[in-house]
Amino acid sequence: MSLISAEFLLFTAALSAVYFLVPRKCQWAVMLAGNIIFYLLVGKVFPIFLIVTCISAFCCAIMVDRVRERFKKSRSECHTREEKQKNKELCTRIQKCIMAACFIFNFGIWAVLKCSHSLPLPLGISFYTFTAMGYCIDVYRGKYQAEKNPARFALFLSFFPHMLQGPFSRYNSLTETLYEAHGFSWSRIKEGGIRILWGVFKKTVIAYRFGIIADCIYGQKTEYEGIYIVILMIAVTLQLYADFSGYMDMAAGICRIFGIRLEENFRQPFFARSIEEFWRRWHITLGAWFRDYLFYPVSMGKGAQALGRKCRKRFGNALARIVPSLIALFIVWTATGFWHGNAWNFRIWGWMNFFFIGSGILLEPVYTKWKKLLHINTESRWWKVFQMCRTFWLFAYMEMFSSACSASAAIRLTVSLFHWSVPDGYALLETFGMEGYDVIVLLAGVIVMGIVDVMKEKKIVIQDVVDRMPVVIRYAGIVGLVYMVLLLGDIGTDATKGFMYAQF
């Protein structure tokens, strides 16, 4: 069953009907059943790994909570500060052992499957593994108590809209509305339906055509020159954005129909003025996961802080403050590269991000002096546009590098980038196997997508704009999108290949 197919629409409609017809106290059970059916229909591997992760994370959190409660009771029997301190240390030690066992077990499974070329990668394994381990960390930190109902926890972890490409949902955020009872609402169906349609349009019309361009260049054995590599960089970047954010729109739209709130994963990334800011706008929940569960623990850990103190004696306070962050940043981006794939081009991609972000932190005083020396008004519009363009091209190059079949292929493409000759337009179209109308469709789609992002950046609520439109214009636009998807879109591709992030 493809996520862009009549079958999936029927599945969502049937699940919605049952969900709103049953007694409200049973709605969560219906959604859990829907999750199971979805995974069995879409996933190619029996969900044994999902079941194992669910059971191990549930038991880990329960045990961590019970250890905490048990030591709280025994604390009343402690009479001196030393006894209380030993009690606390023993409690923490036992909890850490439980957490370590759960982490080694689950991330071990994930790493083995990620590195293996002979075993199929279970659907959404990276997303549900990281989500489950984030939940366990939050329980360990005392952010909230462990869920006592295993079926409800299974509902949270297997929630089908975020199974394929995320977002990385936090337990306390998603379950605020996931476990609640919801009444039927036409307004939610209308709003959710429009957002689903918008996501399908981005995926099937825009991402599909940019994918044709990217596949043509990646698939050729001949060496292309600079103009083709520039087009490839643009195509790969906009394909990934339309594909990934399109899925997020679909997932958010489905959740809106049910009355469930899903975390947003994109915030107009092409308005970012640095790579660091870009990753606060792109795949937001992945960045937040690594920030909260890896960056902060490493940068504030004893090892990084000790190294910072040593640097203070030799290099002064300024560098000493930065060193722990740089160590944590390197580990985060190494892990992020591995999360995306085991090939060397993914690792290099991660280290590129580390280099650009780390050098920006280290050289900030130098940049400040240069801007003063050159009398650059950092608040001027042209400077902001320059920063946004620079960030786009840096990210586009890194995406071109990571999307290549290997690191050596990516390096060859990089070398070709500096060999230039400009072919005529017909030669370009012939190379990419596209017609003139495809170019028009692409340009129109990118313009519309850009307009929507500009409106969002200006804090304009798109749904309010749609509601204020005259009825004729509103429904003409909706019908137009439907016809574009049906006539110009690529519909019905395999679910695990149809979305670029499904492979993770």
Cβ contacts of 240 within 8 Å, gap of 6 or more: 207, 399, 403, 500
Q: What is the dihedral of CA 248, 249, 250, 252, to 10 degrees?
A: 80
CA pair distance 315, 443, nearest whole angstrom: 52
Query: Rounded to two decimals, what is the model's pTM?
Result: 0.91
HEC states along 234-289? Answer: HHHHHHHHHHHHHHHHHHHHHHHHHCCCCCCCCCCHHHCCCHHHHCCCCCHHHHHH
Give the pLDDT of residue 378.
85
pLDDT at 425: 64
pLDDT recorded at residue 496: 39
Nearest to 65 by CA among 144, 128, 176, 175: 144
Contact 468, 460 (CB under 8 A): no
- Given a contact cutoff of 8 angstroms between Cβ atoms, the answer to whether 474 and 193 are in contact is no
CA 18 vs. chain centroid, Å, equals 30
Q: What confidence score (pLDDT) does residue 494 get?
A: 47
Domain boundaries, the chain: 18-178, 186-266+416-503, 284-391
Please tell me what DSSP assigns to residue 54: H
Q: How many helices (H) and strands (E) does the chain have?
A: 24, 0
Q: What per-residue confidence (pLDDT) applies to 503?
A: 58
CA atoms within 13 A on the CB side of 214: 23
Nearest residue to 28 via CA among 185, 146, 177: 177
* DSSP state letters, 395-430: HHHHHHHHHSSSHHHHHHHHHHTT------HHHHHH
Distance between CA 126 and CA 124 in Å, rounded?
A: 6
Q: Which candidate, 477, 21, 399, places its Cα nearest to that of 233?
A: 399
Residue 375, pLDDT score: 85
The span from the CA of 89 to the CA of 168, in Å, is 31
Residue 132: half-sphere exposure toward Cβ, Cα within 13 Å: 32
Residue 298: CB atoms within 10 A of its CB come to 18
* Segment 100-105 long-range contacts (CB within 8 Å, at least 24 positions apart): 101/60, 102/56, 102/57, 102/60, 102/133, 102/136, 103/133, 103/136, 105/56
The amino acid present at 172, given as its one-letter code, is N
Q: Cα separation of 360 and 365, whole Å? A: 9
- Give per-residue pLDDT as tens, 389-417: 999 999 999 999 999 888 998 998 898 88
pLDDT tens, per residue, the chain with 504 residues: 566 677 788 899 999 999 999 999 999 999 999 999 998 888 666 788 999 999 999 999 999 999 988 887 777 676 677 777 887 888 889 999 999 999 999 999 999 988 877 777 888 889 999 999 999 999 999 999 999 999 999 999 999 998 878 899 999 999 999 999 999 999 999 999 999 999 999 999 999 999 988 888 887 766 667 888 899 999 999 999 999 999 999 999 999 999 999 999 999 999 999 999 999 999 999 999 999 999 999 988 888 888 877 777 777 777 778 888 999 999 999 999 999 888 899 999 999 999 999 999 888 888 888 888 888 888 899 999 999 999 999 999 999 999 988 899 899 889 888 887 766 666 666 667 777 788 888 999 999 999 999 999 999 988 888 888 888 888 888 888 888 888 888 775 544 345 666 655
Return the pLDDT at 2: 60
Q: What is the pLDDT of residue 394?
A: 96
Q: Which of 16, 46, 9, 50 is nearest to 30 (CA)?
A: 16
Angle between helices 317-340 and 344-362 (to 10 degrees): 160
Between CA 91 and CA 53, with CA 129 as vertex, the angle to 5 degrees is 70
Supply the DSSP symbol for 380.
Answer: S
**Residues 120/44, Cβ–Cβ less than 8 Å:** yes
Phi, psi of 360 (to 5 degrees): -65, -40
Alpha-carbon dihedral sign for residues 409, 118, 161, 341: negative
3-state secondary structure 106-138: HHHHHHHHHHCCCCCCCCCHHHHHHHHHHHHHH
Amino acid identity, residue 79? H
Pure H helices in 179-225: 186-201, 208-219
Side chain identity at residue 93, one-letter code: R
Closest CA to 269 of 396, 401, 364: 396
Cα first-last separation, the chain: 18
Contact 284, 265 (CB under 8 A): yes
Helices (H), 341-470: 344-362, 364-373, 381-403, 407-416, 425-432, 436-457, 462-468
Q: Which amino acid is at 286?
A: L
The whole-number pLDDT of residue 118 equals: 75
